[in-house]
Amino acid sequence: MCKLRSVFTPYPDQRPGTSGLRKKVFVFQSKRNYLQNFIQSIYSSIDLLDRQGSTMVVGGDGRYFNQTAIEVIVQMAAANGVGRLVIGHHGIMSTPAVSCVIRKYKAIGGIVLTASHNPGGREGDFGIKFNTANGGPAQDAVTNRIFQISRTIEEYAICPEILVDLATLSKQTFDLENKFKPFTVEIVDSVESYANMLRNIFDFAALKELLSGENHIKIQLDAMHGVMGPYVKRILCEELGSPANSAINCVPLQDFGGQHPDPNLTYAADLVETMRGGQYDFGAAFDGDGDRSMILGKHGFFVNPSDSVAVIAANVFSIPYFQHTGVRGYARSMPTSAALDNVARATKIELYETPTGWKFFGNLMDAGKLSLCGEESFGTGADHIREKDGLWAVLAWLSILATRKQSVEDIIKDHWQTFGRNFFTKYDYEEVDLDAAIQMMEDLELRILGKAFMGQRFAVGEKLYQVEKADNFEYTDPVDGRICRNQGLRIIFTDGSRIIYRLSGTGSMGATVRVYIDSYEKDPDKIFRDPRVSLRPGKRLFRD
């Protein structure tokens, strides 16, 4: 029943990025055994003794090629000695829910099928990410091992006759040759375990009063035809009482309805326009796999993700979970604005600045050093799981609204009055030629690290910025001492403002150059202005 098959040829391009392996769908479909090579590399990266009879979790965001990949993953799991797979109904499970279920079932890991906020469909992207036993993305040592195996792999193991019914909630067993126990596949409710976890974090009674009580607020939530539709419907509408029409685009589609499932002002423009009408008090949009969300207030008031995590930190005890656990530390990714730093400084709580990638937060959480964290790319979360969590962030904001009885805009403006404001903007240059991008970064690094650059002054409007420090960010993990170098170029000014340049590893083609501008303002008379820097392709930020 189970067989060893030749891989035909290893592939040199299966190095997992910060969010796993992401490629165009046609790469998985057109390259012989491309999927099988990578899945076998994941299984082979786990010690045989740990793998035998173990439990693993599988789920995806429902994008095109999801069910095809799950069929192969199941057949190869059986052949590689895995004892039980726990799979979301119809193969769908949000990334936060996968992390939750891994931890609940004490699984040795999980395979997440998603390309997050990247487009789906036949012409879109597909991704495979391996999460380890803590529920979080695999650390570098694991992904490096997977990559090395993928370059030398000669064969893969598969039981091609195993066919699983993903449409029925059930436990399915398969008797295999030379196995003492049958191979088991459990198709589980994708929402319930995750919803039960949230019930133990938030005050659902207070949230229900906020959303359906006598003086309830009106909300609009856009699942963008990604994985979050069933979660929003079940938790926000059916359980917390928000009207059914407050949740839109809740049917997961293989191509996300032809849209880009990225919760920002550009791709969630329909929600932004609806919120501008003033009918709704609170709005949110979710990405394809449910780990990111955008927060909006009445009249389309936009909450910058960097401000969002800072506001949650400043109001952290509005959430019952933190009333019981306390707060061990805060963290942000290096490109994220320093708004969270201001809260940490005022509350005397440790602040960690990490490279981009949730795995760095997970390491701090496992060591008991971190409670709340976030990143500028609409990801916020806490130590309840080891992934960022879009719906958790929405419920955190609703908890703050329930406690403070203010609008989103008033809460944000009060925050700026107390802590100052970090004007923050980000520019993405996608599908750039990789060699040219690397050369640009090298040239820029030489320039900013030169002695002549230190102390230079630059005027923007009425404000003068003086360079205090410039470097290529290096992170030493306080838990295990590992050092991560070359994480992005930083230009830091004397007032704490910053400009960051970084190459991203989450695209499927070419390189993405990301530029971040973080300007701090503490003058109460200026914090409500919007002095955004205009940055256009080809425009120089630096004088010659």
β-partners of residue 374 are 332, 380
Residue length of the chain: 544
Classify the C-alpha dihedral 490-464-544-449 as positive or negative: negative
d(CA 271, CA 246): 11
User: Which residues, at least 6 apart from 215, have a Cβ–Cβ distance to it below 8 Å?
Assistant: none
Whether the per-residue pLDDT at 537 is higher than 50: the answer is no
| Per-residue pLDDT tens over the stretch 179-199 | 778 999 999 999 999 999 999
* 3-class SS of residue 428: strand
Out of 41, 99, 116, 333, the active site residue is: 116
CB-CB contact of 278 with 299 (8 Å): yes
Across 297-322, average pLDDT: 98
d(CA 66, CA 99): 18
Q: What angle do CA 302, 206, 365 make, to 5 degrees?
A: 70
Write the DSSP assignment of 328-387 as a string of letters: --EEEETTS-THHHHHHHHHT--EEEE-SSHHHHHHHHHTT--SEEEETTTEEEETTSSS
19 annotated active-site: no
First to last CA, the chain: 68
| Per-residue pLDDT tens over the stretch 462-520 | 889 999 999 999 999 999 999 999 999 999 999 999 999 999 865 557 789 999 999 99
Across 164-187, average pLDDT: 92
pLDDT of residue 463: 87
- Provide φ and ψ at 437, rounded to 5°: -65, -45
The structure's pTM equals: 0.94
Tokens of 481: 């001492």
The bridge status of strand 170-174 relative to strand 21-24 is: unpaired
Classify the C-alpha dihedral 451-457-458-464 as positive or negative: positive
Tokens of 349: 């709580």
The one-character DSSP state at 234 is I
d(CA 227, CA 223): 7
d(CA 17, CA 390): 21
Give kind and range of the element (H or E) at residue 105.
Answer: helix 95-105
| Per-residue pLDDT tens over the stretch 450-463 | 999 999 999 988 88
Task: Give percent above pLDDT 70 in the chain.
Answer: 96
Across 319-333, average pLDDT: 98
Q: In angstroms, how far apart are the furthest CA atoms of the chain?
A: 77
What mean pLDDT is reported for the chain? 94
Across 116-140, average pLDDT: 95
For the ranges 71-85, 99-113, 303-317, 499-513, which has the lowest average pLDDT?
A: 499-513
Whether the per-residue pLDDT at 3 is higher than 90: the answer is no
pLDDT of residue 533: 37
d(CA 14, CA 29): 15
The bridge status of strand 351-354 relative to strand 372-375 is: unpaired
For the ranges 6-15, 313-322, 482-491, which has the lowest average pLDDT?
A: 6-15
The number of CA neighbours under 13 Å toward the Cβ of 529 is 14
User: Which residues, at least 6 apart from 387, have a Cβ–Cβ distance to it below 8 Å?
Assistant: 95, 96, 98, 99, 131, 135, 136, 137, 291, 358, 381
Across 98-106, average pLDDT: 98
pLDDT of residue 64: 98
Q: Which amino acid is at 120?
A: G
| Per-residue pLDDT tens over the stretch 347-380 | 999 999 999 999 999 999 999 999 999 999 999 9
pLDDT of residue 538: 31
Classify the C-alpha dihedral 42-43-45-46 as positive or negative: positive
Whether the per-residue pLDDT at 80 is higher than 90: the answer is yes
Whether the per-residue pLDDT at 543 is higher than 50: the answer is no
